[in-house]
Structure 1
């Protein structure tokens, strides 16, 4: 099969022939139809996170395809099923986190396209327990980003505890952020979008943001405070620039909650005085559980979430990564096989 392989950190991926994997116990072999390209895949390829994958490996964790072979005890799946992969490729199921519905914190989890080969190839393996059942009638191109970007921002918005009718800021309108705007609106929140690019803010407006703020032209904290009369109840940061994380404190109302989805390198520039004085809660949120995935898929099935996508070929992956580095992608790029 053809696959895009990370052979060395920081180098172009090599598109080459590799062996089609054989499903083991509890696994299924999936023939890919599409795969979204996530910023995490770029981090994997550059190896710039503290916990690094081990080259050679195949990135990708937004794959959609058809089950073509089953390993022993691959329960719940059958040949012909349309399924998706996820960042949470599997978890142990037995630790305190798995037992208390926090499987995303499992210390023995396996991550798609990071610690196990992912969806940047014509075939992939999935763990039958964690494979995502794709709803009937779904567009394989459109639904692909829901497998990571969608479930990640959906869970992040839940973690803000913002309620219907309250203001929520989405900071960073990229692959995650443009979907977050849609989920926030569908969940009944009033949405403010913050970015540094006019085209990204235009996209946010298209997807339902009431207010858009260009952080290059004005102080986003002051603008949010003025527009809302005291700040937003929830702030979800999907941006990949460290400055956005510090700005989040100023955009939150007293007693508000800030949730971080983005994972840029660097430290969080926090004012301890302001955090304490305003009684703020700051949380990290990493993807979502299988239940979060099912809920995020249901929003898509009802037609209230529609990712902005463009399709590319697998052999264009290095060009896609370059465009991603320079902020030239509107919404999400999806590889179509």
Structure 2
């Protein structure tokens, strides 16, 4: 997975927060691999994959699924969860949440009725665009879209004591907003990387549950087309690059 090494010595590793390691190694970034046919990896950072998936359909679990799960786990016992941006991560986590008895409220870019229908198909209680308020106050909201303007929008949608979790590595600037929508012990936090425990927990869940990954394969040489299709919302689910 993305987290390929941690130092084991820094304060974060000693606290059990290896996702924040001061001297990490990341597969395909600081460690060779990612798109290689073969790669040497530290076995301590490798996961056993559920047998029920083929390579194409298991691929989204290792990126979208893992970071999606860490953000979902931070919602703790939230019963009503909003997902802003219904793409690769959200379509996986929505299925986990619904099968665990939670209610999912899905938010898409304005006018994307196909994504809204897809969310309802996967069990969402409600689906609408990100300019709308949900029909009920949310216990937590996860923002998968890298759009900073969604932070104040999500804060308005969560109840007192609710959480807004920013799941992306990057996000556009968050605009200023009135303190009144943060007051009431609402909170905003980001998610960074994952721990090995996150991966083990999530892949065990994926092996037990009926989770369908909606995949759209692209040849590796068409990676730029895949990114362009992703940006413009031309498919539902996850893009997978195939060598």
- Give the TM-score of the pair, scaled to structure 1: 0.67
- Structure 1 unmatched runs, 5+: 1-85
Task: Please say if residues 90 and 127 of structure 1, whose CA atoms lie closer than 8 Å, have aligned partners that are also in contact.
Answer: yes
Look up the match of 2:102: 189
Matched, 1:266 2:159: no
Deviations 1:29-69 (A, max 9, x none): xxxxxxxxxxxxxxxxxxxxxxxxxxxxxxxxxxxxxxxxx
**Cα distance, 1:97 vs. partner?**
1.4
Mapped partners of 1:248, 1:124: distance in 2: 41
Residue pairs, 1:137-286, within 5 angstroms: 137-163=52-78, 166-196=79-109, 197-215=112-130, 219-220=131-132, 223-224=133-134, 227-228=135-136, 231-286=137-192
> CA-atom RMSD, angstroms?
1.8
Look up the match of 1:94: 9
Task: Please say if residues 148 and 287 of structure 1, whose CA atoms lie closer than 8 Å, have aligned partners that are also in contact.
Answer: no
Look up the match of 1:294: 200
**Cα distance, 1:266 vs. partner?**
2.9
- Give the TM-score of the pair, scaled to structure 2: 0.91
Q: Which moved more, 1:128-137 or 1:288-297?
A: 128-137
Larger radius of gyration: 1
Task: Please say if residues 299 and 305 of structure 1, whose CA atoms lie closer than 8 Å, have aligned partners that are also in contact.
Answer: no
Mapped partners of 1:254, 1:310: distance in 2: 39
**Cα distance change of structure 1 residues 99 and 188 upon mapping to structure 2, 3 Å threshold:** farther
Mapped partners of 2:25, 2:178: distance in 1: 35
Task: Please say if residues 311 and 334 of structure 1, whose CA atoms lie closer than 8 Å, have aligned partners that are also in contact.
Answer: yes
Look up the match of 2:51: 136
Deviations 1:274-306 (A, max 9, x none): 254221011111232111111111121113322
Task: Please say if residues 194 and 201 of structure 1, whose CA atoms lie closer than 8 Å, have aligned partners that are also in contact.
Answer: yes
The alignment of Structure 1 onto Structure 2 pairs a total of residues equal to: 241
Larger % of strand: which? 1
Task: Please say if residues 170 and 180 of structure 1, whose CA atoms lie closer than 8 Å, have aligned partners that are also in contact.
Answer: no
Mapped partners of 1:245, 1:125: distance in 2: 40
Per the alignment, in what secondary structure is the counterpart of residue 245 of structure 1?
A: helix
Matched, 1:110 2:25: yes
Larger % of helix: which? 2
Per the alignment, in what secondary structure is the counterpart of residue 329 of structure 1?
A: coil
**Cα distance, 1:94 vs. partner?**
2.0
Task: Please say if residues 87 and 112 of structure 1, whose CA atoms lie closer than 8 Å, have aligned partners that are also in contact.
Answer: yes
Q: Which moved more, 1:132-141 or 1:87-96?
A: 132-141
**Cα distance, 1:329 vs. partner?**
3.0
Mapped partners of 2:33, 2:153: distance in 1: 34
**Cα distance, 1:136 vs. partner?**
3.0
Mapped partners of 2:28, 2:101: distance in 1: 34
